[in-house]
Amino acid sequence: MKKKYLLTILAILFIILVGIISLLYFKTDVLKHFFEKQETDLPVNQTQMTEEEIKLQEIGYNELEREKIYEYMSEKNQKELLNHPYVDLTDFYEIPNFELKNIDRYLAYQTISHLELQDCVTQVNLNLDKPFYEEIEEIEDPSSITVLVNKYHALPATYEPDLIPIPSFPNLKLREEATYALEKLIAAAKENGSILIPYSTYRSYEYQDGLYQKYLQNDPVDVVDTYSARPGHSEHQTGLAVDIRSEEHWSNLTEKDYAWMKENSYQYGFIIRYTKDNNKITGYKEEPWHIRYIGIEHATKVHELNITYDEYYDLYLTNH
């Protein structure tokens, strides 16, 4: 009887021991899963974040915003964001030429211009939210084939490119690349029945200054600025621009020749620089005769996109 009682006690104790062990295991497993869940529920596991991501989080950017910043924003913008108060970038993530430093100007310009945000960004980057000639930057690489010369970017007064005579018109000079491209363009136009004649090519800083001053004798400055560049701001000083005319015109193209130029000049690396209805961007009236060499690749893209060279330069040739 005692033996049977002892076995019963031992069985009960065994059951209790098993229960205690099971309970402890269960609790450990529950606690483990609880803490794992707590970790996954945290906004971000900071041990897996870079210092830059942690800084962006501290500034106020949530996880989704940080993902978009690293997916769309340039390294330049990413670095600037680290030292900038939080700003809502929702509308700017997918705009390729966005620059953080200009964000207030973008928003202000959109209010008065009523343009699409992409166009606002491009035009503000070009300083078009400010008057022409108000903020002028001297060009650092004036010999670049793709150099942008306009009312905000000036060539050094001392800049003189390497020039060679145009074989068919030896009294006129251009840079070598533009010279041979122009010869090909003139030959192709001739096959189409168009006789094109260059009449103004390279102009020095001093020559352009004299020309501009001459115009001022007849028209006020605001009028002259619509058809003549101030010294340092003329593409002619690059040796890459040429004014070209039809055989039967003194300083312009016939409608037929202009139509051919619009459809074919890009194949030889030229663009018609100052086109109709783009004076708000270029600052000049339409000049069918003024063509600029930028190389076949870029000229083709400008032609296909049907935008001004100023816009193209900001969108595709500027490091944002």
Tens-place pLDDT, residues 91-110: 999 999 999 999 999 999 99
- Enumerate the active-site residues: 287
Across 271-275, average pLDDT: 97
Distance between CA atoms of 259 and 189, rounded to whole angstroms?
Answer: 11
For each of the domains in the chain, give its residue range(s) and CATH number, in order of start. 47-125 (no CATH), 137-316 (3.30.1380.10)
* CA 201 from centroid of its chain's CA atoms: 29
Structure tokens at 147: 């150099």
Residue 10 reports pLDDT greater than 60 = no
pLDDT tens sequence across 205-215:
999 999 999 99
pLDDT at position 100? 96
Lowest-pLDDT choice from 31-35, 44-48, 195-199, 225-229: 31-35
pLDDT tens sequence across 115-154:
999 999 999 999 999 999 999 999 999 999 999 999 999 9
Distance between CA atoms of 304 and 216, rounded to whole angstroms?
Answer: 37
Residue pair 83/75 in contact (Cβ under 8 Å)? The answer is no
Exposed / middle / buried, residue 119 (Cβ in 10 Å: 0-12, 13-18, 19+): middle
Band (pLDDT 50/70/90 cuts) for residue 11 is low
- CA nearest neighbour of 246 among 183, 303, 186: 186
Across 246-272, average pLDDT: 95
Exposed / middle / buried, residue 55 (Cβ in 10 Å: 0-12, 13-18, 19+): middle
Distance between CA atoms of 298 and 278, rounded to whole angstroms?
Answer: 19
Distance between CA atoms of 140 and 38, rounded to whole angstroms?
Answer: 56
**How do beta strands 287-293 and 153-154 pair?**
unpaired
Band (pLDDT 50/70/90 cuts) for residue 236 is very high
Across 51-68, average pLDDT: 93
- CA nearest neighbour of 137 among 152, 126, 158, 151: 152
State which amino acid sits at residue 219: D
pLDDT at position 181? 98
